[in-house]
Structure 1
Amino acid sequence: MRKLKMGMVGGGAGSLIGAVHRSAALMDGQIELVAGALSSTKEKAFASGQEIGLPEERIYATWQEMLEGELSLPEKERVDFISVVTPNNLHFPVAKAFVEAGFNVVVDKPMVHTSEQAQKLVEAVEEREIVFCVTYNYTGYPMVKQARYMVRRGDLGEVRKVIVEYSQGWLAGDVEENNKQARWRTDPEIAGIAGAMGDIGSHAENLVSTITGLEVSEICADLTTFVEGRRLDDDANLLIRYKGGARGVLIASQVAAGEENALSIKVYGTEGGLRWNQEEPNCLIFKPSGAPTQVLKRGNDYLCKAAKGVTRLPPGHPEAFIEAFANVYSGVAEAIRARREGRTLEGDAEFPTVYDGARGVRFIEKAVESGMSEKKWVGFS
């Protein structure tokens, strides 16, 4: 089994998420990084490529040069897929160009800026029949897969209520001047129409959808900008109505002073509830009605096949953030191999797809629409 060849757009010197993607993709020995257009300037791109050991002939100054260069190679020598880890404004042009050229694509979230762009990507992916992944990495945690299995199996009965919260405190003050990440994430030209709602609220929406499968019918959103002079929201509070009658609460805040990366979800049904917390990711709390609370732990034989299948270490050895990213990349690698070999994968894709990305963009748009509306309740269709 040869390793799949990966190219990367963005993620050069000073990029946190680029290093995370590289570490995750290479973790299981299925993938090798062979090419990259890693930065916005030629000098930085080459310096970054040399720093991580790329061959000089596969270090590109721009993504356009990378696309042209890879297409000029014999098909067996080209990258098998590219990973797009740029700021949000480049997701669409880069992903669309590579998809239309027939390359498989992994792109960071949120997928694109608008639903119109998302639809164009969906159509391009369907036409070219390529593998397309959006890295909502929290779907890769073993205990998220266990939660999904239990909810879908009916262990909670009929789902009535979902509470999801993603709180951070890193933007509680005016930090843009000295923080590159803060500057672009609060710039509407780069980040898009939403701040906290797009950056971390999109993760919260995806986590609910992944675990419960609930479909949104209406949204009532209150989006606030607390830091003076900031151009995008830094705090979001949503009430959600789901098809079938369930209700939800979504909180996404980047001004929750003192918080680090507090993503958590609670799901309640007619027969019980469960809770998962990203800062303690190896445990899932299950509360069946009329029975003792259960603490399910990663790595044990009593877990479902999907949870056990993405576990690398025995119980008691923590697995977390980068491993979850690696599980997403492993799913992508398996999908690429299956497609090339003419195999059909069993069950759902083990990674978020272009359809999840498109739904996430729609959710962000509707949250912003509701936040700006006097009517408040906005239909999702």
Structure 2
Amino acid sequence: MKKTVFLLLVFAALQLSAQKDPMPIGVAGLTHGHVNWVFGAQKSGDITIVGIVEPNTDLAKRYMEQYGLSMDLVFDNMEKMLTKKKPVAVTAFGSIHEHLAVVEACAPKGIHVMVEKPLAVSVAHAKKMEALAKKHKIHLLTNYETTWYPTNHKAYELLKKGDIGDVRKVIVRDGHKGPKKIGVQKEFLDWLTDPVQNGGGALIDFGCYGANLLTWLHEGKRPNTVTAVTQQLQAENNPKVDDDCTILLTYDNSMAILEPSWNWPIGRKDMEIYGEKGVVYADNRHDMRIRISEGYDGFSEEKFKLEERKAPFDDPFRLFTAVIRGEIELKPSDLSSLENNMIVVEILEAARESAQTGKTIDLK
């Protein structure tokens, strides 16, 4: 009896150990400036990069030298990498247009996928990706930098607790001086400012953050209407796409203003949530304030300096591995979920149409 119990305990320990081995990850593309994130994530031990797809040999050599990795990891096409290396999951760091091809290659093999924001360049692409994910029962996540901001999660908590009353208006501002001005690498700039490969300019690149947050704050509800205005203020740097945008979303009892731009003098990702009784300011990743109304223009204010969230809710690759292992189940409204990000693509496409036609687009 004792021997049986001992063997069961050993077996359970071995299972636990195996479950916690680093997740074998493939990387699809190296042209996205956020790709450093996945190389840095290897240090945590949650993932291990087993293969990389990048046809640009010079670009691949640069990254392999930077991170002390072998060119033996690099393949010139997806099929070769998937067949030889057999990753459990793939993270996409190419253009947004390429996301569909990544899912088309991975889903039939049962390989999970996480893409950088946004999910897709169009609703048509997104629907194909969604159908493949559901048919082949893979997880398809979308990663945003702001998903990991403790301030956004504290703001959500305060809103749901009713501390500022029912929401009436949300303002989300995202962006920087522009890709060329901040010096992004050429391979990134080439597709980021291409209307086909990126789907647009600042409207897509930074409008997706606000659309993602608003869908989360509204528990997965799509807006009733979308109205957008775009401008091109840096024609010399962004000749093919918009670089400044304002998007107005209406809901049953509230309104949201998204201000994505490549013309901010100072880089920013912040959010203001106005309720009936007060307002929450998520000023950046760690700093936030809550003001409660007192009289006409008076208020009491509390300030917060927040620590990073606890694992696995502090990092995209930790969350991805936890979801794959069944340790976490995402809600449909969650920031990384497929359902949330299908709505994000709907909002972005409606905004693009609104800006082109000068009309409000009805999503209801």
Fold-level match, TM-score > 0.5? yes
Residue 74 of structure 2 aligns with an amino acid whose one-letter code is: I
Q: Distance in 2 between matches of 1:35 and 1:164?
A: 37
TM-aligned CA deviation for residue 56 of structure 1: 5.6
Q: Distance in 1 between matches of 2:157 and 2:333?
A: 14
Change (3 A) 1:349 1:358: closer
TM-aligned CA deviation for residue 42 of structure 1: 4.5
Q: After the TM superposition, which parts of structure 1 deviate over 6 Å for at least 4 consecutive aligned residues?
A: 172-176, 346-350
Residue 352 of structure 1 aligns with an amino acid whose one-letter code is: S
Residue 266 of structure 1 aligns with an amino acid whose one-letter code is: E
Q: Distance in 1 between matches of 2:333 and 2:186?
A: 36
Per the alignment, residue 309 of structure 1 pairs with 310
Normalised by the size of structure 2, how large is the TM-score? 0.83
Contact 2:146 2:269 in 1 (8 A): no
Measured against aligned partners, the alpha-carbon deviations of 1:80-116 in whole angstroms (never above 9, x if no partner) come to: 2111100222111112221222101111112222111
Contact 1:172 1:227 in 2 (8 A): no
Contact 1:46 1:60 in 2 (8 A): no
Per the alignment, residue 303 of structure 1 pairs with none
Per the alignment, residue 122 of structure 1 pairs with 130
Per the alignment, residue 197 of structure 1 pairs with 203
Per the alignment, residue 304 of structure 1 pairs with none
TM-aligned CA deviation for residue 218 of structure 1: 0.4
Per the alignment, residue 56 of structure 2 pairs with 41
Matched, 1:99 2:82: no
Change (3 A) 1:274 1:212: farther
The SS at the match of 1:134 is strand
Matched, 1:146 2:154: yes
Contact 2:226 2:354 in 1 (8 A): yes
Q: Distance in 2 between matches of 1:347 and 1:232?
A: 34
TM-aligned CA deviation for residue 269 of structure 1: 1.0
Residue 366 of structure 1 aligns with an amino acid whose one-letter code is: A
1:238 to 247, 251, 256: 247
1:282 to 283, 286, 306: 286
What is the Cα-based RMSD across aligned positions, in Å?
A: 2.8
TM-aligned CA deviation for residue 184 of structure 1: 1.8
The SS at the match of 2:174 is strand
1:220 to 218, 227, 233: 227
2:340 to 356, 362, 365: 356
Give 1:1-381 correspondences, 5 Å limit: 1-11=20-30, 16-23=33-40, 25-37=41-53, 39-42=54-57, 44-45=59-60, 48-49=63-64, 52-54=67-69, 57-70=72-85, 78-170=86-178, 179-192=186-199, 194-213=200-219, 215-228=222-235, 230-242=239-251, 244-256=252-264, 258-259=265-266, 261-278=267-284, 281-290=285-294, 292-299=300-307, 308-310=309-311, 327-338=315-326, 345=329, 352-374=336-358, 376-381=359-364
TM-aligned CA deviation for residue 161 of structure 1: 0.6
Change (3 A) 1:345 1:370: closer
Report the count of equivalent residues. Answer: 338
Contact 1:96 1:124 in 2 (8 A): yes
TM-aligned CA deviation for residue 134 of structure 1: 0.5
Residue 340 of structure 2 aligns with an amino acid whose one-letter code is: D
Q: Distance in 2 between matches of 1:228 and 1:349?
A: 37
Ranges in structure 2 where 5+ consecutive residues have no aligned partner: 1-19
TM-aligned CA deviation for residue 219 of structure 1: 1.3
The SS at the match of 2:97 is helix
Contact 1:220 1:371 in 2 (8 A): yes
Normalised by the size of structure 1, how large is the TM-score? 0.80
Change (3 A) 1:270 1:348: same
> Which deviates the most, 281-290 or 132-141?
281-290
Q: Distance in 1 between matches of 2:217 and 2:148?
A: 12
Contact 2:246 2:260 in 1 (8 A): yes
Q: Distance in 2 between matches of 1:135 and 1:226?
A: 28
Change (3 A) 1:349 1:235: closer
Q: Distance in 2 between matches of 1:87 and 1:128?
A: 23
Measured against aligned partners, the alpha-carbon deviations of 1:117-170 in whole angstroms (never above 9, x if no partner) come to: 111111221222222210112111122111112212322211101111113113
Change (3 A) 1:56 1:368: closer
The SS at the match of 1:160 is strand
Q: Distance in 1 between matches of 2:357 and 2:30?
A: 37
